[in-house]
Structure 1
């Protein structure tokens, strides 16, 4: 079995780029068999179980191939990456890392070059994350020292689930319908009962000056 392991850190991101990279890699490297997918959309700071690495290890067996688009998909830190790779090797699974152009063969116990490259690249990736975090904190601290307010400007109106129904809501209000009737008879059928309420609609109208 060839398994593509796809992971993004938030629900706002997509795994399609990773999927395309892995498929292109398979086509270019004569790995043309069916690729099964394990897709995970969770924070990198979740536990190993929450990131479904346990599901990955439940799926694989000796002789399988696991492909990831880049090394960072295997863990948040150098230690996590190396632990995951060691565990894959203990399962006799071959690991392909597309971006870094690495193939880690479980049958080659003396592949010191691959191990050294994985360790170095994981360290550099972890260092880069730390530097970005540090620069972000320093930038925020500097802005605060200059008296610049952090966060969204006052008066900023965020998008709302009611926006696409705004004109209909205004029309119904002008016809004299109560908020309760607007919600029960007009919004619930299209938005779902759990996605709208009189209270949230009232708040929406006040913020919009309606």
Structure 2
């Protein structure tokens, strides 16, 4: 089986660019994705709490996992290394498009896995540090950061779903089931219903 794995950290991002890259790569190589795994979750979340973790439990010898870049697997070196190690031990191949990485069970693959994971982590740390420095400078200059105190975001995760939620409630679907359907906490759903649905 060939699996395509795409992940974004927030619902404000889109997986379409990653899908496009993987589909283009497969087209060039004459491959076809048998199953897509798509999720919106931070790469720092534990693997077992992600769809990727459930997928890893189903992977078997000879399967191929394709993702846009190695950082989609995880946001720190140890996590990436543990995923790659699991795949190597189970004879599952991992291919990344942007990094042009092919994981096998040879020493070259193991060295590359370490190098790519380490460089991805260093790059993220540098970006994070630069962001913190820029925010500290703006704060020192008197710029007020963030949303004004007391204001609330106009964009909600459930925005645009008001009619669907109203219909589900009218059909007596339990709120816990609705929350699961839209992948939000029950409290988030309750507040949204009070503010926007009824």
Name the CA distance, whole Å, in 2 between partners of 1:85 and 1:190: 41
Q: How does 1:133-172 map to 2 (within 5 A)?
A: 133-153=128-148, 159=154
Per the alignment, residue 46 of structure 1 pairs with 45
Task: Mark the runs of 5 or more structure 1 residues left unpaired by the alignment.
Answer: 165-187, 202-210
Q: How does 1:154-193 map to 2 (within 5 A)?
A: 159=154, 192=166
Which of the two has higher C-alpha Rg? 1
Matched, 1:83 2:78: no
Would the aligned equivalents of 1:69 and 1:97 in 2 still touch at CA under 8 Å? Answer: yes
Q: Structure 2 length normalisation: TM-score?
A: 0.73
Would the aligned equivalents of 2:2 and 2:34 in 1 still touch at CA under 8 Å? Answer: yes
CA shift for structure 1 position 191: 6.7
Deviations 1:69-123 (A, max 9, x none): 10001111122111111100111111211111121223xx3x32x3333322222
Distance 1:196 1:75, change over 3 A: closer
Distance 1:3 1:135, change over 3 A: same
Per the alignment, residue 114 of structure 2 pairs with 119
Distance 1:146 1:115, change over 3 A: same
CA shift for structure 1 position 157: 7.9
Q: What is the number of residues matched between the two proteins?
A: 169
Distance 1:160 1:96, change over 3 A: closer
Task: Mark the runs of 5 or more structure 2 residues left unpaired by the alignment.
Answer: 170-189
Would the aligned equivalents of 1:42 and 1:50 in 2 still touch at CA under 8 Å? Answer: no
SS at 1:49 equivalent = helix
Name the CA distance, whole Å, in 2 between partners of 1:190 and 1:88: 40
Per the alignment, residue 29 of structure 2 pairs with 29
Per the alignment, residue 12 of structure 2 pairs with 12
* RMSD over equivalenced CA pairs, Å: 2.7
Name the CA distance, whole Å, in 2 between partners of 1:96 and 1:57: 15
